[in-house]
Amino acid sequence: MKKSNIAVLIIAAGYSSRMHDFKPLLPLGKTSALKRLIETYQAHGIHLIYVVTGHRHEEIVATLKGYNVQIVYNEAYDKGMFSSIQKGLSVIDESLSAFYMQPVDIPLIKVQSLERLYEAYAREDKGVTYPTFLGRKGHPPLIAMKYKAHILSSDGEGGLKKVLEAFNDDAQYVNVCDQAVLMDMDTKEDYEALGMYETRGVPTEQECLAIMKENGVEEHIIAHCQAVEKMVSILLQELSSCMLIFDKNALCAAALLHDIARKEKNHASAGALKLKNLGYETIGDIIATHMDIDVDLNMPLNENELLFLADKLVNEDEVCGFEKRFEKAFLKYEGNFDAQKNIMKRLNATKMIIKKIENLTGKVFNYG
């Protein structure tokens, strides 16, 4: 199955009445919602891109000048989204295998999620492939072209959802670690939430949970990671008046994901690699040192040191203080010289990080 046989149908024809602004051209980062989607699909390797227009057609034509897309004008756009789906689908060549049905108001879908949908479709050859996030169905569905005639002949009552329900036996659901498959921008509040999500650059708490479940992380390890994340938040609060700038979102996500590969050899490095492969370079770098770290008292406190320390203050899912944690480790490896040496190195690093915090806050550290 080749991507050259796959198209995407981007629906950008509506009034955006609830938004009180024109969704396709709303800015997201350095571009617009519509351009962002086009660039995402191009990065995914899809070059048959159809954009269905209606309201403010001329503006979209002007803004997409130079983009390699086919613009399809729906004269009946005032009849709703389904009429635009039918109009766009009517011009797509039936010899193609399938098409993504992509509303313009769900603009932050990730390339990795599209890859998962495509791979599942190519492997299973199901008629409809839906993305799901933590059990909830999202967009875009990847729809086999064999259903073109069914969609075109529908009277539109109930929309595309109603048409596709008839083919549930030929559908598959693909888990993705991408909350954006559920995030639309029907209202100003939705749009603001998308903007905040866009600027994060790191997974949300729910995405961290999805990533852990995707990687088979057991519940007791998830509970440990959540406890470490809470400890990280406590440390950040203690340091809030110290004029240091930390990437709280990245650090909290790293805390939640730091043991994603705990069952694997060299799990800190293995976990870091998993996150970097998902595109989260910063989180991977923080996770990489949560087991072993070199601390320089003359250098500013950093995110890596805070995660290392938080992990050493939590035993399973309870805050226990580093002394109890290390006492337990020394007893476990009694008689093993190399292991004891590594434990002592980690203990010294822990004490040095605590010293940094005490120097910054001017207070005795109370979590040991």
Beta carbons within 10 angstroms of residue 360's beta carbon: 16
Question: What one-character-per-residue DSSP string does 318-344 give?
Answer: EE--HHHHHHHHHHHTTT-HHHHHHHH
- What's at 166, amino acid-wise? A
CA 226 to CA 216: how far, in whole Å? 16
Q: What is the pLDDT of residue 320?
A: 84
Beta carbons within 10 angstroms of residue 59's beta carbon: 13
Which domains, from first to last, does the chain contain?
A: 3-200 (3.90.550.10), 205-361 (1.10.3210.10)
pTM of whole model > 0.85?
yes
User: Pick from 256, 247, 248, 274: which is nearest to 205 by CA?
Assistant: 256
Q: What is the pLDDT of residue 281?
A: 96
Q: What is the pLDDT of residue 331?
A: 83
- C-alpha angle 326-332-336 in degrees, rounded to nearest 5: 100
Q: What is the pLDDT of residue 78?
A: 93
Q: What is the pLDDT of residue 1?
A: 67
Q: What is the pLDDT of residue 314?
A: 92
Contact of 41 with 49, CB cutoff 8 Å: yes
Q: What pLDDT, in 10s, does the model give residues 56-84? A: 999 999 999 999 999 999 999 999 999 99
Q: What is the pLDDT of residue 71?
A: 98
Q: Which residues, 6+ apart, have CB-to-CB distance to 338 below 8 Å? A: none
Q: What is the pLDDT of residue 368?
A: 64
| Residue ranges, the chain, pLDDT below 50 | none
3-state secondary structure of 143: strand
Q: What is the pLDDT of residue 322?
A: 83
